[in-house]
Chain A
Amino acid sequence: MDTTVARSPILPTPETSFERPNYLNAEYGWKSWLFTLDHKRIALLYLLSVTVFFGLGGIFAGLIRLELLTPEGDLMGPDTYNRVFTMHGIIMVFFFLIPAIPAVLGNFLVPLMIGAKDLAMPRLNLASWYVYNLGGIFTLWAIVNGGVDTGWTFYTPFSTTYSNTYVVPTALGIFITGFSTIFTALNFIVTIHRMRAPGLNWFRLPLFIWSTYATSLIIMLGTPVIAITILLVAAERVLGLGIFNPKLGGDPVLFEHMFWFYSHPAVYIMILPAMGVVSELIGHFARKKVFGYRVVAFASVAIAVLGFLVWGHHLFVAGESIYSATVFSVLSMLVAVPSAVKVFNWTATLYEGSISFQTPMLYALGFIGLFTIGGLTGVMVATLGIDPHVHDTYFIVAHFHYVMVGGTIMGYLGGIHYWWPKMTGRLYPGFLSKLSALLVFVGFNLTFFPQFILGYMGMPRRYWSYPPEFQVLNVLSTAGASVLAVGYTLPLCYFAWSFKYGKKSGDNPWGANSLEWDTPSPPPTENFYTTPVVTHGPYEYTREGVHNRTTQEANFG
């Protein structure tokens, strides 16, 4: 390898990496964790928080699928059902999908991947975790008090005037958590601009950094808009204003414009980091330079920019003008282009690569397939002729779950599995992890593919009962959800197990060629013993390196 890094005088072996001071054993005690400024520890704190929220959101999902086993509304009343799907949406979107990859993997990896000692603003980083949890507390308080029934999109005037649930605390919780993401994004942008190691110019950065950077741009520009929208909703509700209330001269469509101005780019906040992870996984597990590196890098930025120009496709049937709708429809098709370009480039990377089907790669490959389906159906619903028929049906639900779960969550899990040895110095059971990946893939498709059909056949979303002819597909979907639940629970178990009992991984179990692997696993608190000097881009696998699989297979269980 050409990357020059001063190595410790002791050649790192699995045991000595562990005994050497690393960020995990540098300090002990709850204070050293709750007041840490180390980006790696903060990443693990976030891992804990997002996992808790994911579990909570998953429970609500389970309740939805249980109710929908039968056509009648028999498990719960319609008001309760409204609250259940609303809390599922709010928790999953704001407290899991948006923060997960940036706050866990991004926080851990950004300084490591650019050869820095920490992020630019470590205290801001810690603050962002506390703010995240503060927002979470508001929302949890609202849940405990019966939740909210407006849908995660809390359209007006229902949310501002007619709903009798705790809209304001929930909205405030989201408002506060929004600051958490802004702090993180700000930190990332400044760090990537100002703290790259010598020799690390923009086009030698790993694609995960490009994606994280593009994501951070979206966060900075979009999140404040939903913040002010939430403030207006809260003000309207509390003070009895009429900004979004048609009875008082307000326009509910304005709410939708302002809401979706953020919430559409938000889905790119969710998918771009996952795409960044996939770029890393494909490159390293095919032992090949990612095809068209610059194109993929620019595509990330293109997605970020174009993603801001398409929100009107959520308003096709809301009453926006047909002229506006046409413009948004065309732009929505345009935004699919850079995403598709990435899929083509990943596929081209695989061609003539030396592919290794380790667990992270399974998730990456699953991502490519599922994201493609989700993305293609996205182009379908961007079409003005189709959307009015499938809007507010399960077709839409299936579409966004394909990209958010089949996309983001697969990317997240793939990343966790890939960088777990880096973060903990431990390996997890190989067979069990591959089984889990398979269960996730099968369970996911079983859950959500029937929903495309259901939606196309006309089953509306957010309804707690449905005509009996839809039952078979709903049962299949619920069955799939059970499989998916197992697939998600297993990693929770074996990762927890591996913390203590997992085989020690050594510094670079994957034999990957990238800056974060040039330092011990787990890394020392200061990341690198001396500042690395970078002389080439990432994914520089030589012909010999391609055939050198011994490092990969030998260490891994």
Chain B
Amino acid sequence: MSEHVVTPVKTYVFVFVALLVGTLLTVLVSEVDLGWANNIAAMSIAIVKALLVLYFFMELRHSTRMSALTAIAGFFWLVLMLVMIMMDYWSRHAIVLPVPGK
């Protein structure tokens, strides 16, 4: 358990710096118009930052599999909700049924 493992201060500081760098990066990238790639870049950076917080600050590194599974399940369910609701909106004009007589 994490109570037997003490993370060195250095590790925390490195993660902190990485998170700040990520923030800077995301701001810089957003100022350039890359179309769709802007979204991908922003979300990718955010996901990496979140993973850093989860793994190091929230000690998933030293936690039980149950904790990790719980966290994964939570995010998976969020993605499920997002995707399946967006499924409706993305497909609203995709299939147009034939109108009788036309």
Contact = CB atoms under 8 A, between A and B. Distances in A.
B88 A320 contact: yes
- For chain B, what secondary structure do more than half of its interface residues adopt (helix, strand, loop), or is it mixed? helix
Given A321-B95, A323-B94, A323-B95, A253 B81 contact: no
B91 A321 contact: yes
Contacts of B88: 253, 257, 312, 315, 320-321, 324
Closest 7 CB pairs of A and B: A323-B91, A324-B88, A321-B91, A321-B92, A320-B88, A257-B85, A221-B77
Given A257-B85, A323-B87, 5 more contacts: A221-B77, A308-B80, A312-B84, A321-B89, A324-B87
Interface residues of A, number: 18
A272 B55 CA distance: 35
B66 interface: yes
Contacts of A309: 80, 84
Contacts of B89: 321
A261 B94 contact: no
B97 interface: yes
A209 to B, nearest CB: 17
Size bracket of the B interface: 10 to 19
A311 to B, nearest CB: 8
Nearest to B87: A324
14 contacts: A221-B74, A253-B88, A257-B85, A257-B88, A258-B85, A308-B77, A309-B80, A309-B84, A312-B84, A321-B91, A321-B94, A322-B95, A324-B87, A324-B91
Interface in B43-102: 66, 73-74, 77, 80-81, 84-85, 87-89, 91-92, 94-95, 97
Interface of B: 66, 73-74, 77, 80-81, 84-85, 87-89, 91-92, 94-95, 97
Interface of A: 193, 221, 225, 253-254, 257-258, 261, 308-309, 312, 315, 320-324, 327
Nearest to B92: A321
A308 B84 CA distance: 10
Given A253-B88, A327-B87, A322 B77 contact: no
A15 B26 CA distance: 74
A253 B85 CA distance: 10
A309 B66 CA distance: 24
A87 B77 CA distance: 31
Contacts of A324: 87-88, 91
Contacts of A261: 81, 85
Contacts of A257: 85, 88
A254 B91 CA distance: 14
Contacts of A315: 88
Contacts of B85: 254, 257-258, 261
Given A253-B88, A323-B87, A324-B88, A225 B95 contact: no
A327 B94 CA distance: 14
Nearest to B81: A261
Contacts of B81: 225, 261
Nearest to B90: A321
A228 to B, nearest CB: 11
Contacts of A308: 77, 80
A221 B94 CA distance: 30
A322 B87 contact: no
Contacts of B66: 193
A32 to B, nearest CB: 35
Contacts of A323: 87, 91, 94-95
B76 to A, nearest CB: 10
Contacts of B97: 322
Contacts of B73: 221
A323 B90 CA distance: 10
Contacts of B84: 309, 312
A327 B95 CA distance: 13
| Residue of B73, B74, B81, B97 most packed against chain A (CB within 10 A) | B81
